Structure 1
Amino acid sequence: MKNVTERTRNPFGLRPPFDRTRPDERTAVFGYGDANADFHLIGNYPGVHGGRESGVPFTETEAGERVQSIVREVGFAAGSWSEPTVENLFCSYRHMCCLPPGETPDESTYDDLERYFDAELRAINAHILLPVGERATDHVLRSYTTQRDRLELDMATLHGQEIRGRGFMVVPIRDPTVWEDTEADAIVSRLEAILGRDYRQTKGVATRVG
């Protein structure tokens, strides 16, 4: 059994390459959870999925808390909603840096943060990647599978599907703000099914952080 680190917040001490926030605001929302996890939940950026106040991904916003409710139901999280106790799940964002209110990331800032996201993902070395929303799903499918060119990026269709990757299995999650009545249940059922079998993937050697 791997033992990467017992640190819950920003376990590898990442430092963002830029800071566009005011001195009294949070610079970034770093990865959070069980660094030895088999499941890695991947969101977009703090302005969408939350954490600007708590520093914890998938908190504070409607979208973030809807996702958190799913992982709670499966048994990955418990306790406080702003700083949950997490087991077998690591949570992070494709774009960790906070931006001034009303601003959204552009392609150059996603590119600036790519090496940080990739290094952390490979250091966690989870078996199941759970990208939330179109942008995170597109990136994960392009970077960690050979399937992107064969798949239409239709999140309603991809939601809850199992897609084999290069040493990972990817289960996309549609943006929770547009979930229909059965879509939350579909993810819960999929995760429970995965947990009920041997889900381990053939892994390569993780890259070093730093």
Structure 2
Amino acid sequence: MRNVTDRTSNPFGLRPPFDRSDPGDRTAVFGYGDANADFHVIGNYPGIHGGESTGVPFTETESGLALQDVLRETGFASGPRDEPVLENCFLSYVHMCSLPDGEAPTAEAYADLERFFDAELRAINAHILLPVGARATDRVLREYTTQRRRFDLEMASLHATEIRGRGFMVVPIKEPAEWVDGDFEAIVSRLEALLASDYRQTKGVATTVG
């Protein structure tokens, strides 16, 4: 069994290229969790999915905690909500840096951080990628599958589906703030089915299909 590192937060020592955070906020919300994980959850940026105070992805905000509820329901997360204990699961953002309240990343800011996100994703080398929301789903489908042109990013229809990628299985997750009845249950059911399957074959299958 591989052992990348035992560090939980920022396991590869990434350093953000800029600091635009408000006083009291973390400069960046780094990747967090089990660096040997098979499941990698990918959010957008701290202002939406949380962590500007805790330094942990998917904390603090309504959307972040809703996603964390999925991880708890499926056995990936336990312990404190601001510093969960994760097993077989890693969390990170496409845009890790904190920004002033109410400010969203620009296209240039996303581009500045692409290499950091890509380096961490490939170092984790998970079997299952779980992008949360349209921005993260677009990024993952463009860069890690050959199938982006097949989809119009209608997240309601992509939610909890399986998409073969280049060495990965991609399971998009609709933005939690937009969930309606059945969306929580759908992603929980999909994750439970994957955990019950031989999902580790994803690497070989996806390489030939994607």
Both proteins in one fold, TM over 0.5 = yes
Cα deviation for residue 25 of structure 1 reads 2.8
Equivalent in the alignment of 1:159: 159
Instruction: Count matched residues.
Output: 203
Q: What SS does the aligned partner of 2:203 have? A: coil
CA apart distance, 1:150: 1.2
Deviation of residue 23 (structure 1)?
5.2
Distance in 2 (CA, whole Å) between partners of 1:146 and 1:76 is 29
Q: Residue 207 of structure 2 corresponds to which residue in structure 1?
A: none
1:26 matched to 2:21? The reply is no
- Give the Cα–Cα distance (whole angstroms) in 2 for the partners of residues 19 and 62 of structure 1: 25
Cα distance between partner residues in 2 of 1:42 and 1:27: 19
Query: Equivalent residue for 2:70?
Result: 70
Once the two structures are superposed, what CA deviation does each residue of 1:87-129 show, in whole Å capped at 9, x if it has no partner?
0000000000000111110000000000000000000000000
Distance 1:46 1:169 in 2: 25
> Matched residue of 2:153: which SS?
coil
* Structure 1 segment 6-17 matched on structure 2, within 5 A: 6-17=6-17
Q: Which amino acid aligns with 1:142?
A: R
Where structure 1 has 5 or more consecutive residues not aligned to the other structure, the ranges are 204-210
- Where 1:136 maps in the other structure, the secondary structure is helix
Q: Does structure 1 retain, via aligned residues, the 8 Å contact 2:44–2:136?
A: yes
For residue 58 of structure 1, what is the aligned residue in structure 2?
58
What secondary structure does 1:6 align onto? Answer: coil
The corresponding residue for 2:168 is: 168
TM-score by length of 1: 0.95
Structure 2 Cα separation of the partners of residues 23 and 182 of structure 1: 39
Cα gap change, 1:156 to 1:116, in 2 (>3 Å): same
- The secondary structure found in structure 1 opposite 2:98 is coil
Contact 2:22 2:101 in 1 (8 A): no
Query: Partner of 1:207 in structure 2?
Result: none
2:112 aligned residue? 112
Identity of aligned residues (%): 69
* Counterpart contact for 2:27–2:97, Cα < 8 Å: yes
List runs of 5+ in structure 2 lacking aligned partners: 205-210
What secondary structure, in the 3-state scheme, does the structure 2 residue paired with 1:11 have? coil
- CA drift of 1:22 comes to 4.4
Aligned to 1:48: 48
**1:142-153 correspondence runs (5 A):** 142-153=142-153
Letter in 1 for 2:78: A
SS in 1 for 2:92: strand
The aligned amino acid for 1:190 is R
Is 1:202 the counterpart of 2:203? The answer is yes
Distance 1:76 1:202 in 2: 21
Over the aligned positions, Cα root-mean-square deviation in angstroms equals 0.9
Match of 1:206 in 2: none
CA offset at residue 202 of structure 1? 2.2
Counterpart Cα distance in 1 of 2:60 and 2:150: 36
- Rounded to whole Å, the distance in 1 between the matches of 2:25 and 2:149 is 40
Assess, with a 3 A threshold, how the Cα gap between structure 1 residues 16 and 185 changes in structure 2: closer, same or farther: same
Matched, 1:102 2:102: yes
Counterpart of 2:188?
Answer: 188
Partner of 2:123: 123
Supply the AA of the counterpart residue of 1:46. P
Q: Which secondary structure does the structure 2 equivalent of 1:41 belong to?
A: strand
Higher helix share: 2
